[in-house]
Structure formats: structure tokens, C-alpha cells
């Protein structure tokens, strides 16, 4: 039994403190325990992050109290937090915080149990009616709330009845309600009936892939597998059967999917396969209510749920003995957290796999170049599934040159003749169409035809987007919005012209072209309502919607057999972004979007409307030539020493005063220049591609090196060397930055 605990206290200090574990607490203190400790003249809370038998100090103060009964972080996850702290240069305590959801952290603070309240029995209802006159208004409100909702958490009940705990206690004294500390499990999917599915008989490529994955899982030192399967090759079925294998070995599994792909459809496929014991599956995503998230986390910790499906942070779920970690759509940039610690869940998954001796499967139809190279040089095991299930044909992709379209009849429409023709053909055959556009709103920006004025956000250096339904101009960076003017603010001209187009505009034009068609739009504007997503998708599934228009939300993981046409409207603007990964992103996007077509009996077709038809990203996507794309892209990356040939660190300084930001950036750069080795490529300070956001100026310094460690040490030293760091200038360090914007 260890006698010393290392505690990270809640004071944002980047170090741990040793405390003695008193006899009576020896059996309860474990890694991850929430504790209260004496600190100076007061008591503070913290997490036990390590145990030891010895300390450098002679006199140690004892831990005062353990808060909550069970640790909510497992030891390997705590080690992962430690790795994140050193690799991503983030305070350890911040890393510990980010491996535990806020709600779990808050509830484990303090020994208060989760209290639930229920009506004593059905007679209570009548009794309640009889004695209702005896109840105060507040007590009555509580009573009625319980009548309506059944058993509730005390905290929720208090909130719903807009009162305090005291009327609830009075009702308990009257014998009308029962307060208990049992935890109730609230199934976030209650009321949705799920039928169990049997494992499918695998196609030959799937069978080979599964065999390789199972071999990796059973190996003494399990390897990371890159599963490169084209869209519709049946990757999900392979994951499901690999998970079954983990369960047979008495182990658990974690499946990460990008938040936008965490659709009910995806989750249902997992629930359905394990529906004989539905409580085994836990789901973690951002729209869970706090109580739901808390429950799911505890079900995992108690061992009831052994299969976890979730977005990025589900990687830290306290699954005791994982046998498999899947990262689906591993190329997705959303796996990178864009606040401290700026970790990549994909890379952290590989680390967790190492620590838990568990196989990791990275799956994608368009692997990130980093993963692809790791597979090609033998660091990962490369497994590919180059054909679709049942040998269904890959869709044909046609590129429509919009420059010619304009010349033909002198006016540029939103849709090419080809696209309109093809949509009409689908409507006639009762097949479905998806239209994809990577931009919200009605039109990109508001351009004055008389003087060329464009409405730009006052706080950010980007153009505002026009949202017609609300008649407002919105900055998609800072959210700032204002009413759209009727006249040009510069020259007063009333002829405003809307350039570019957003999903809203496409919907409007589409409705005019096809007045009889059922058209729906799905983007984050229309998806604010909690179940809107599920509703639209199920309508689309049963054929009540003919044309679905959307942003990248519809590009991921959806499987609708009756979709035979996908239209992509102007992916060009993404190519003009100042990011070396722009081409890769466009290639991935087109391939994924195209993958939604022709998943049923009828072959699919894809039309890409573009003003830059010859761009390699578009041409290689058209030919479905992943390797060809990689070859030319890798050549360019190698030449410029970009990832995957280097690791990249992006330092951004931000502040309200441009000269201050610039000067500090120069100073930091000088310090860096003195301490980096010759293996590090250090670029001079430049304004960030988006040079102003929310009124703050941004400057950047890029560092590239083959090994991250060669950069982290000097960066740490240089940041510390700046003694007088100006108050108004903040610095973020992004290791393996996913975007330079
Ligand atoms: N062995 C099989 N036999 C019959 N149908 C299968 C088999 N495997 C998968 N399918 C079906 O093929 C379709 C495509 O599979 P799935 O969605 O798993 O592909 P995927 O590789 O994950 O695709 P994407 O990357 O495009 O999301 C699904 O409808 C699935 O039910
Ligand atoms: Zn004007
Ligand atoms: Zn803005």
C-alpha cells in the first residue's frame, strides 16, 4: 500500500504536491480520487494523480478527506493526461481536467450523493388531491412536477419547480414523497425501439480485414491498424465484429466518431448489434444533458457499460480493460481540440492503445497523409478494402466547368444545365438527390455592384455572410451580427447584389426550379432544435424528402441506398484558403461526399460544379485516385518540409494593440532563434492568415522539426525567457496544428 499521494490542486499551478495518506484512507485513495488537502492556511480540492512510497520531503501533511466514493479516472488515462501535458505543452492540471467531463468533476466534488425523489405510491396521487389544500404553493408545484415526470433527480426537481429543497423535505415528512440516494439511469434513447441485428456474412475483403485486426488485438504487443476502406466498403461492419471479439475476451471497446457523424443512424447501428444487453452501450456526445452525461460516465466506471461510442473526449472514458479503440474518419480535423490542451484524439488514442496494450484501428476512406505515411513506413499495419460491398460500383464523378456555363448564354446561374437535368431525371424516377455546399447562409457576402463595397466584420478580417430568412449579416468567426442595410453604406446605391451562395439561397432557387419536389435543408442553422436532425434524416430515409441540401453535416457517414445523385456546388473557395492542407481537405471532402451516392442497387452519379476544374485535388478526386493524389501532394510537402515530413508547431500571439503584438512576437522569435537547434526550421513572425478576430490582432511563428521534442523544449524556454510579457498579449502554442487559420 502506497503511503504518499501526489496531488494536483485546483489552483492552476503546473506542479503536484506530496501528501501523506492517513491509515483510515489507505483503502479509499486511488489514482483519480478527488481529495481535500491542507494548503497553506486553508483547504483546497484536487486530484490524486500518482501514488508513491517515498517523498523528497520529510514532513508531509495528511490528506484531510476523500470526496466521492470512487475514482473517476483510470490509471492509464491519468498517464495519458501526463503525456498530453508534456507533448502539447499544457499545464498538467488542465489536462487532468480535460480527461474528466466538467459535470462529472463537479458532482464528484463534495460527498453529496445524487438524490432522487419519487411519489411514495400511486395512492399518493389521490392523497395529494385530498390534502392539496394543506400544501403550500411551492409544495404543490413540487408535487405536480413529480406527477408529470415520475422519478426525478432532486437537483432537477428543484430547478423544474423553481424552488429549494425545503418544500421537498416537507413533503417527505408528510409521507408523500420518497427521497433516496439510489442512482436512476436515464436512457437518453428511451422510447426508441431497437431491434437486434445479427452479424452480416462478411465480404472477402472485410473478412481479411477483420482477421488482420483480430490478429492485432490478440498479439502480445497489439499494433495500430490503418483501415483504408473506400466509402461503402463496410468498415462499420468490421468494427462491429471486432468489438464482438473484444467482448468475447472479456474486454471493452471505445469507438470515436467525429461529432457531426455522431448521427442517430450511426449510434443505432451499434445499439442494434448489442441490443440483447442494451445497457452495455454508452453514448457520449455534446448534446447530452448534464445528467445524462453523468449517468453514462458512471455506468462506464461501474463496468455496466463496456462499449463506448462518442466524440473526441470519449477517448478518456474509464473503460477498465479496453481490447479495441476505433477512430472512425480518422482524417477529420475535429479530432483536434481547439483549446488547451490542444490534443489530437487520434494521436492520443494511439498513445492510450500503447499504454493499455490494446489494438487501435484508424478507419477512413481518405486517410490523413500523416497516417498514410505511418502505414507505408511500417509504423502502422496497413489494411485496405478497395471495393464496395457487393461490388457496387463507385459513383461516376463529373466535373462541370462553371466558366463555360457562363459563356454559353451570357448569364451565370447557380446551377448548371447538367445538374438541373440530372435532378429532374431523379425526380422522375423517384430517386433521391443530395446537394452539398460548405457554407451556411444565403449568400457569401454582400457586394455593391456600384462601388464594390463588401461588408466586413468590424472585429475580424473576414467578410460577413448574408442570412436571408433573418435579413441579417453575420460574421461566422465571432458571431457578431447586424441588420442588412437596404442601401450600400458606402455609396448609397440601392442595387445590392448577392455574390456567392449559401445553403439558404440554394434551397430557395431549388424550390423555384422544382416546385413539386419536397426539399429540406440541413445545416447548423436549421439543426438548433434537439431532434431536428433525427426527424429530417428519418423523413429522408422513408422517401418523404426528394432533395436534401446541406453543409458538411450531410457529408459524413450517412448511408441512404436511394440517393443516386450528389451535387457539389463550388468547392473552390476552400482551395483558396491560406493553409497548406487546403488541397487535402478538398480531396477528402469530395471523396466523402461522392461516397454518399449509389449505395443501393442503382449506380450513383456525382456532379461537381467548379470554377477551377483543373485543380489536382478536384481531378484526383474525380478519378478516385487516392494514391495519385498522395504522390503529388507528398512531393510538395516534402519539398517544403511540411507534415507528414515534419511536425509543426504554430505559436499565435493575440492582442488588441497591433504594435504590441508584433513587437512581442519579434522578441519571442529572437529568443527562439537563440535556443533552437539546427534541426528546427524556424519561420519569421508573420500576421496570421486571418489577421484579426474579435477585435484582436494575431501574429504567428511556425516551427517545423522531425521530432516534436526538438521544438517543445526551446519553445518552453523562450516563452519563459520573456520576462516582461505585456499584459494585453496572449500566447497559444499549438503542437501539430491542424489548421493555420
Ligand atoms: N458483409 C456485408 N454484407 C451485406 N451488406 C453489408 C456488408 N457489410 C456492410 N454492408 C452494408 O453496406 C453498406 C455500407 O457499409 P458501411 O456504411 O459500413 O460502409 P463504410 O465503409 O462505413 O462507409 P462510409 O465510409 O462511406 O461511411 C451498409 O448498408 C451496410 O449495412
Ligand atoms: Zn456602393
Ligand atoms: Zn467577427
Q: Is 478 annotated as a binding residue?
A: yes
Cell 435579413 sits at which residue?
A: 471
Q: Which ligand does the CA of 494 lie closest to?
A: 2
In this model, does residue 383 exceed pLDDT 80?
Answer: yes
Q: What is the pLDDT of residue 455?
A: 81
User: For residue 469, what pLDDT band results from cuts at 50, 70 and 90?
Assistant: confident
Residue 161, C-beta contacts closer than 8 angstroms, at least 6 positions apart? 138, 141, 142, 144, 145, 167
| Interval 418-431: pLDDT, tens | 999 999 999 999 99
The residue whose CB lies within 8 Å of the most ligand 1 atoms, and thus the one to mutate among 265, 386, 389, is 389
Rounded Cα gap, residues 620 and 604, in angstroms: 18
Rounded Cα gap, residues 191 and 264, in angstroms: 13
Q: What is the pLDDT of residue 530?
A: 59
User: For residue 109, what pLDDT band results from cuts at 50, 70 and 90?
Assistant: very low
Q: Other CB atoms closer than 10 Å to residue 702's CB: what's the count?
A: 17
User: For residue 127, what pLDDT band results from cuts at 50, 70 and 90?
Assistant: low
Q: Is 460 annotated as a binding residue?
A: yes
Per-residue pLDDT, averaged over 334-355, amounts to 95
Q: Is 451 annotated as a binding residue?
A: yes
In this model, does residue 110 exceed pLDDT 50?
Answer: no
Confirm or reject: Cβ of 237 under 6 Å from ligand 1: yes
Q: What is the pLDDT of residue 107?
A: 54
Please tell us whether the domain made up of 4-106 is placed in CATH 3.40.1440.60.
Answer: yes
Confirm or reject: Cβ of 236 under 6 Å from ligand 1: yes
Name which of 2-6, 520-524, 574-578, 713-717 the model is least confident about: 574-578
In this model, does residue 216 exceed pLDDT 50?
Answer: yes
Q: Where are the beta strands (DSSP E) in 579-644?
A: 605-610
What DSSP element (H or E) covers 469? none
In this model, does residue 28 exceed pLDDT 70?
Answer: yes
Q: What is the pLDDT of residue 650?
A: 94
Q: Which ligand does the CA of 202 lie closest to?
A: 1
| Residue pair 312/329 in contact by the 8 Å Cβ criterion | no
In this model, does residue 85 exceed pLDDT 70?
Answer: yes
Cell 441579417 sits at which residue?
A: 472
Confirm or reject: Cβ of 233 under 6 Å from ligand 1: yes
Supply the pTM of this predicted model.
0.80
| Residue pair 259/334 in contact by the 8 Å Cβ criterion | yes
User: For residue 464, what pLDDT band results from cuts at 50, 70 and 90?
Assistant: confident
* Higher per-residue confidence, 663 vs 501: 663
Rounded Cα gap, residues 315 and 646, in angstroms: 26
The CATH code belonging to domain 204-389 is: 3.40.50.300
Q: What is the pLDDT of residue 680?
A: 95
In this model, does residue 187 exceed pLDDT 70?
Answer: no
Q: Based on the number of CB atoms within 10 Å of its own CB, is 707 exposed (0-12), middle (13-18) or buried (19 or more)?
A: exposed
Q: Is 650 annotated as a binding residue?
A: no
Name which of 496-505, 640-649, 690-699 the model is least confident about: 496-505
Q: May I ask the CATH class of domain 647-735?
A: alpha beta
Q: Which CATH number is correct for 396-440+502-636, 3.30.70.520, 3.40.50.261, 3.40.190.10, 3.40.50.300?
A: 3.40.50.300
- CA–centroid distance, 564 to ligand 3, in Å, is 39
- CA–centroid distance, 447 to ligand 2, in Å, is 8
- CA–centroid distance, 477 to ligand 3, in Å, is 5
Q: Based on the number of CB atoms within 10 Å of its own CB, is 377 exposed (0-12), middle (13-18) or buried (19 or more)?
A: exposed
User: For residue 273, what pLDDT band results from cuts at 50, 70 and 90?
Assistant: very high
Residues measured by CB to lie within 5 Å of ligand 2, the ion: 448, 450-451, 453, 488, 490-491, 493
Q: Which ligand does the CA of 385 lie closest to?
A: 1
Helix axes 264-273, 532-541, angle to 10 degrees: 80
Mean pLDDT of the residues in the chain? 85
* Higher per-residue confidence, 611 vs 541: 541
- 472-474 vs 465-467, strand pairing mode: antiparallel
The set of cell numbers assigned to 366 is: 481518405
Q: Which protein residue's CA is at the shortest distance from atom 1 of ligand 1?
A: 202
Q: What is the pLDDT of residue 380?
A: 97
Per-residue pLDDT, averaged over 592-602, amounts to 78
Q: Is 665 annotated as a binding residue?
A: no
Amino acid at each position: 500500500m502506497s503511503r504518499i499521494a501526489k496531488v494536483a490542486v485546483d489552483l492552476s499551478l503546473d506542479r503536484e504536491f506530496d501528501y501523506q495518506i492517513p491509515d483510515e484512507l489507505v483503502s479509499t485513495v486511488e489514482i483519480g480520487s478527488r481529495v481535500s488537502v491542507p494548503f497553506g492556511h486553508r483547504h483546497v480540492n484536487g486530484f490524486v494523480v500518482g501514488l508513491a512510497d517515498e517523498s523528497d520531503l520529510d514532513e508531509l501533511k495528511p490528506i484531510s478527506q476523500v470526496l466521492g466514493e470512487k475514482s473517476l479516472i483510470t490509471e492509464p488515462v491519468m498517464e495519458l493526461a501526463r503525456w498530453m501535458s508534456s507533448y502539447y505543452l499544457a499545464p498538467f492540471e488542465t489536462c487532468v481536467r480535460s480527461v474528466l467531463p466538467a459535470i462529472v468533476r463537479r458532482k464528484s466534488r463534495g460527498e453529496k450523493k445524487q438524490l432522487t425523489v419519487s411519489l411514495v405510491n400511486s395512492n399518493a396521487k389521490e392523497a395529494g388531491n385530498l390534502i392539496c389544500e394543506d400544501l403550500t404553493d411551492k409544495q404543490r408545484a413540487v408535487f405536480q412536477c413529480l406527477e408529470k415526470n415520475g422519478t426525478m433527480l432532486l437537483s432537477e426537481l428543484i430547478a423544474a419547480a423553481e424552488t429549494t429543497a425545503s418544500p421537498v423535505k416537507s413533503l417527505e415528512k408528510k409521507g408523500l414523497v420518497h427521497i433516496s440516494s439510489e442512482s436512476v439511469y436515464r436512457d437518453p434513447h428511451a422510447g426508441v425501439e431497437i431491434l437486434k441485428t445479427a452479424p452480416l456474412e462478411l465480404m472477402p475483403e472485410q473478412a481479411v480485414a477483420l482477421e488482420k485486426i483480430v490478429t492485432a488485438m490478440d498479439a502480445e504487443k497489439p499494433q495500430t491498424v490503418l483501415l483504408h476502406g473506400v466509402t461503402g466498403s463496410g468498415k462499420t461492419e468490421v468494427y462491429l465484429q471486432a468489438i464482438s471479439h473484444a467482448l468475447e475476451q472479456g474486454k471493452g471497446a471505445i469507438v470515436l466518431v467525429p461529432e457531426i457523424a455522431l448521427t442517430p443512424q450511426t449510434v443505432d447501428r451499434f445499439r442494434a448489434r448489442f441490443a440483447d444487453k442494451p445497457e452495455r452501450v454508452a453514448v457520449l456526445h455534446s448534446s447530452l444533458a448534464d445528467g445524462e452525461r453523468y449517468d453514462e460516465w458512471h455506468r462506464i466506471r461501474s463496468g455496466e457499460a463496456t462499449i463506448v461510442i462518442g466524440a473526441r473526449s470519449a477517448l478518456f472514458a474509464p473503460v477498465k480493460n479496453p481490447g479495441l479503440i476505433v477512430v472512425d474518419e480518422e482524417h477529420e480535423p475535429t479530432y483536434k481540440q481547439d483549446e488547451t490542451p490542444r490534443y489530437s484524439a487520434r494521436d492520443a488514442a494511439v498513445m492510450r492503445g500503447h499504454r493499455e496494450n490494446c489494438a487501435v484501428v484508424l478507419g477512413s476512406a481518405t486517410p490523413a497523409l500523416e497516417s498514410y505515411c505511418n502505414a507505408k513506413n511500417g509504423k502502422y499495419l496497413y489494411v485496405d478494402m478497395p471495393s464496395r460491398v457487393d461490388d457496387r460500383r463507385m459513383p461516376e464523378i463529373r466535373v462541370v466547368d462553371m466558366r463555360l456555363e457562363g459563356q454559353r448564354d451570357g448569364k451565370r446561374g447557380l446551377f448548371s444545365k447538367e445538374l438541373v437535368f440530372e435532378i429532374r431525371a431523379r425526380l422522375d424516377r423517384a430517386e433521391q438527390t443530395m446537394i452539398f455546399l460548405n457554407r451556411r447562409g444565403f449568400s457569401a457576402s454582400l457586394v455593391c455592384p456600384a462601388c464594390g463595397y463588401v461588408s466586413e466584420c468590424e472585429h475580424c478580417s473576414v467578410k460577413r455572410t448574408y442570412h436571408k430568412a433573418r435579413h441579417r449579416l453575420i460574421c461566422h468567426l465571432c458571431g457578431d451580427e447586424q441588420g442588412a442595410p437596404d442601401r450600400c453604406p458606402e455609396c448609397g446605391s440601392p442595387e445590392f447584389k448577392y455574390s456567392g451562395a449559401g445553403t439558404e439561397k440554394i434551397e430557395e432557387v431549388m424550390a423555384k426550379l422544382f416546385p413539386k419536389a419536397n426539399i429540406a435543408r440541413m445545416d447548423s442553422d436549421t439543426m438548433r432544435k434537439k431532434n431536428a436532425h433525427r426527424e429530417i434524416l428519418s423523413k429522408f430515409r422513408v422517401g418523404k424528402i426528394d432533395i436534401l441540401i446541406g453543409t458538411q453535416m450531410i457529408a459524413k457517414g450517412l448511408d441512404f441506398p436511394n440517393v443516386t445523385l450528389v451535387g457539389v456546388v463550388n468547392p473552390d473557395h476552400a482551395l483558396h484558403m491560406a493553409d497548406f492542407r487546403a488541397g487535402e481537405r478538398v480531396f477528402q471532402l469530395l471523396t466523402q461526399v461522392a461516397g454518399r451516392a449509389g449505395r443501393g442497387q442503382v449506380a450513383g452519379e456525382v456532379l461537381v460544379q467548379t470554377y477551377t476544374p483543373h485543380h489536382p485535388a478536384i481531378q484526383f478526386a474525380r478519378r478516385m485516385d487516392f494514391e495519385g493524389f498522395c504522390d503529388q501532394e507528398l512531393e510538395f510537402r516534402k519539398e517544403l518540409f511540411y507534415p507528414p515530413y515534419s511536425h509543426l508547431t504554430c505559436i499565435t500571439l493575440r492582442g488588441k494593440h497591433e504594435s504590441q503584438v508584433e513587437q512581442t512576437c519579434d522578441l519571442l522569435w529572437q529568443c527562439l532563434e537563440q535556443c533552437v537547434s539546427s534541426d528546427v526550421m524556424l519561420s519569421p513572425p508573420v500576421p496570421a492568415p486571418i489577421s484579426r478576430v474579435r477585435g484582436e490582432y494575431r501574429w504567428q511563428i511556425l516551427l517545423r522539426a522531425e521530432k516534436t521534442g526538438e521544438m517543445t523544449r526551446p519553445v518552453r524556454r523562450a516563452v519563459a525567457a520573456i520576462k516582461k510579457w505585456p499584459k494585453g498579449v496572449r500566447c497559444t502554442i499549438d503542437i501539430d496544428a491542424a489548421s493555420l487559420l
